[in-house]
Chains A and B, each alone.
Chain A
Amino acid sequence: MRTLYFWIIGTLLIAPFVVVLGVSVGASSNIAFPPESLSIIWYRELLTEPEWLAAIGRSLLIAVVAGLIATVLALAINYVLWRTKTGFAKATFALGLGPFLLPPIILALGASLFWAQVGWYGRMEATIISHGVFFVTLPLVIIARGFAALTDEVVEAAQMMGATPAQVFRTVVFPLVAPYVFTGFALVAIISVNEYLIANMISGFVVETLPIKIFNNVRYGYSPVVAAASIFFVALTVTILLILSRITDLVALFGTSKDT
């Protein structure tokens, strides 16, 4: 009964990607599964066609900078909350949880109106800043776990040796929370690379990211290149998460072990 349920869910979760993989390695330009003959032409097209390459490059650039913004913001909010415990710091933390709770369309429309008013409508910087601010929640929560694991003793020891707050941060606090910071950064980057709606509403008609390009292609008749692009994405996402699981204990991060 249990095993059956595992297999059914597992199959349903994986089936769409198996079919997309099949389509992406098929030689015919019609969408067909199972493929009649194998070929890598669609991957070659994806990685040589300037338009696809530009979309990949744009997406990666947005993801990395937005990831940096979100993590620095999350680290700052957590650090101040940990050091001062003031109501203001708590309020800032709560504000950081906000974007995750609202449907993205609301954030997207608000941001799109805001950037139009500011005059940055259609600029990549606008997409980057909005991604960075809207995706702050995940690193915020993850880095908070890092700060929760910090014990007072190490900090006290450093202070007794005469370290200034900046030195304490640099030599004690940051090294200890670094794995959490890195995990937060990677997750924001992955989510940003995959995000469609916000990017599209802020500057989609100029800054065509990979998801936007895939979506437009699907809407107006598509070729198997889209399947190749999707598999490229899946591979990228899974690879980063696998690397991450080597660096931090993802299972513990999601709260399995009874002692954390």
Chain B
Amino acid sequence: MGAARMMRMPSYGSRLISGLAFGVMAVFFVVPLIFMIVVSFYQPDPMGFYKVDFVWENYAKFFSSFYYTVSLRSLYSSALGAVLVVAFAFPLVLFVSDLSRSHQQFWIISLLSLMCLSEVIIGFAWLILMSQSAGIPGFLEWIGLWDNPRSLSPSFGAMMIGLVFLGFSIVALILYPSVSRRDRSIEEAAVTLGTPPRLVFFKILLPTFRASLVPVTLTMFVYMLGVFVMPTMLGRPKDWTMTVIISDKALGDANLPLGAALAVVMLIVTVLVLIASAVLTRRRTP
């Protein structure tokens, strides 16, 4: 141990590396965020980007009815999506963790592939799957269940399916380590004593994993607030979330200060949710 301890004295070289790494993160990650906050107080300039100023006007616009409604709608669809994703993914992770090692590997690689895949491609795939000519509606007509098929997207339901699909692999991969390493003795004891599987799930597994399920739901909530492609591809304009509006303001209307102000509001919501998540996790783990 002695030699290793000695090595941990900060040397000139490691200080230099440390400073450089911190500098890169600060310049390209923190500075843009700070600059965005600064721009949110600028005046929009229809001819260019913005005029340097200090006004609350952009934030005042947020509290006008339109953006207020959009925000509430974003919060609603993200919350619903987050709960649905976790509800679908948790049982799957439980089942996968009981499979043989090679089957587990198959699921992990599949989920990892899905996690890495572009939103754009997943959105496009669902767009086709819900289209009248190539997707589920056509299939239902073919087997005679739907006489007069029409496209299922764009709609709120289509957008939600897209969101849930997108979040599914992420939630499954986040939950997987703790679920696969769980102590199985309590469940086994319950099963041996004749407890039906449904009761084992609700009385033992759900309470045991509450400490991981709550933070993962909150993480998903934040994640879904930021999804851009699914609402634009699969949702109607009236389903559009805050992310779409921000991008629309910044790129479409070239009103960068307003876009920045909306993004700052989202940043504040995100930070609050993250703090809540951290507090909840800390309290639950002994």
Contact = CB atoms under 8 A, between A and B. Distances in A.
- Co-complex (A, B): yes
Interface of A: 1-2, 5-6, 9, 12-13, 15-17, 19-20, 22-23, 30-33, 73, 76-77, 79-80, 83-86, 88-89, 91-92, 95-96, 98-99, 101-114, 116-117, 129-130, 133-134, 136, 152, 155-156, 159-160, 165-166, 187, 190-191, 193-197, 201, 211, 214-215, 218-219, 226-227, 230, 233-234, 237-238, 241-242, 245, 250-251, 254-256, 258
Interface of B: 1, 3-4, 7-11, 13-14, 17-18, 20-22, 24-26, 28-33, 35-36, 39, 49, 88, 91-92, 95, 97, 101, 104-105, 108-110, 112-114, 116-129, 131, 133-135, 138, 165, 168, 173, 176-177, 180-181, 197, 219, 222-223, 225-226, 228-229, 232-233, 243, 246-247, 250-251, 256, 259-260, 263, 266-267, 270, 274
B36 A110 contact: yes
Q: Which of A19, A219, A234 has the most CB of B within 10 A?
A: A19
Contacts of A16: 122, 125-126, 128-129, 165
Contact of A245 (B3, B28, B109): B109
A16 to B, nearest CB: 3
Nearest to B229: A196
A19 B131 CA distance: 11
Contacts, number: 266
Contact of B21 (A80, A109, A112, A233): A80
Given A79-B17, A196-B228, A103 B35 contact: no
A134 to B, nearest CB: 7
B35 A233 contact: no
Contacts of B28: 111, 114, 129-130, 133
A73 to B, nearest CB: 6
Contact of B108 (A79, A219, A227, A251): A251
16 contacts: A12-B165, A20-B121, A30-B133, A33-B133, A76-B17, A76-B20, A79-B14, A88-B22, A152-B3, A159-B7, A193-B118, A195-B118, A218-B124, A218-B233, A250-B108, A256-B101
